[in-house]
Amino acid sequence: MHDKSSFVRELVEQTFNKGNLSIVDELALVDAVSHTPGWGIPANRLGLRLLIANLRAAFPDLHCTVDDEIERDNRSAALWTLRGTHKGVFLGNMPTGRQIEVLGFVFIHMKDGHITETWLMIDQMGMLQQIGVVPPPTGNFTKNQV
Parse the chain into domains and list their residue ranges: 4-145
CATH number for the domain running over 4-145: 3.10.450.50
Residue at 63: amino acid letter: H
List, for the chain, all residue ranges whose pLDDT scores fall below the cut of 70: 1-5, 143-146
pLDDT (0 to 100) of residue 36: 87
Give the global pTM: 0.86
Rounded CA separation 28/82 (Å): 22
Rounded CA separation 122/36 (Å): 8
pLDDT (0 to 100) of residue 139: 75
pLDDT (0 to 100) of residue 140: 75
pLDDT (0 to 100) of residue 54: 95
pLDDT (0 to 100) of residue 145: 65
Rounded CA separation 133/130 (Å): 8
Task: Check residue 145 and report its DSSP letter.
Answer: G
Rounded CA separation 93/84 (Å): 15
